[in-house]
Chain A
C-alpha cells in the first residue's frame, strides 16, 4: 500500500546550518506531496506542497522538489533559525483511499528538529 518514510530524528543543528530532512514514498498513481510543521503544543500547519513531478514547493525559506524517478520529496533549508525548531512531517495524498475514499493524507512518523543558537 501507499506509505511515507522519513528520516528518524531527532536532528540537532546550529543556527545558520544547512538542513535536509529526507522523505521517500511508495504510491500508486501520481499523489500530491506535502510537508507539514508542528510547533510545540500546536497542531500541524501546511509548510509546502507539490502536486506533480518536478514541481518545487517553497515557503519560509524551505523547499522540496517532487522527484518521481527517486520517489522522494526531501525538505531543505539553506540557513536554519532557532525558530525553526519543530517536528516536520512528510505526507502524500492517498489516491486509493480507505474504503474507496480519495484524498486522505498518509503521514510519515515525523522528524524532530532542534536548532541551537
Chain B
C-alpha cells in the first residue's frame, strides 16, 4: 500500500441497500476526509475526522455515516442508498490541521444507485 487505498473501485447498488466504502492510508496522517464529486458541482465534503476517535459533518452529511477507530481507516457507510447518492467518492488525508500542507487523495469509488 502506498498512499490511500479505496475499495471498491466501482459498485452498482440497489436502492435501499446498505453499503460501506473503505478507505485506508499508510502515511500516518492525522486527518481524513470523504468527498463526493458530481458534474457541475465540484467536490463537496461529506464527513471529516481530525484524529482517530473523532469525526465531524461536512457540507453534505445526510444519508452518510463515518467512523475512525484508528489512524489508518476511515470507512463511509450509506445506511439505505438512494439514487441521489450516485456519485464518485474520494477519500483524502492530510497531516496538517491548519490545511497548509494540502491533501493526498485516493483514486475514488464510482457508485451507481439504481
Nearest first, the 10 A-B pairs at minimum CB distance are A93-B99, A43-B105, A109-B42, A103-B99, A107-B43, A46-B102, A32-B100, A44-B105, A103-B97, A43-B107
Mark each residue of chain B from 98 to 110: 1 if its CB lies under 8 Å from any CB of chain A, else 0: 1110111111100
User: A114 to chain B: closest CB distance in Å?
Assistant: 16
Q: Are B103 and A46 in contact (CB under 8 A)?
A: yes
> Which of A42, A93, A109 has the most C-beta atoms of chain B within 10 angstroms of its own C-beta?
A93
Asked if B100 and A104 make an inter-chain contact with CB atoms under 8 angstroms apart, the answer reads no
Residue from A44, A45, A98, A110 within 8 A of B59 (CB atoms): A98
Interface string of A18-60 (1 = CB under 8 A from B): 0000000000000110101000001111100101000000000
**CB proximity of A95 to chain B, nearest CB, Å:** 7
A43 and B31 within 8 A (CB): no
B56 within 8 A of A: yes
Q: Tell me whether B105 and A104 are in contact (CB under 8 A).
A: no
* Residues of B contacting A95 in the complex (Cβ-Cβ under 8 angstroms): 98-99
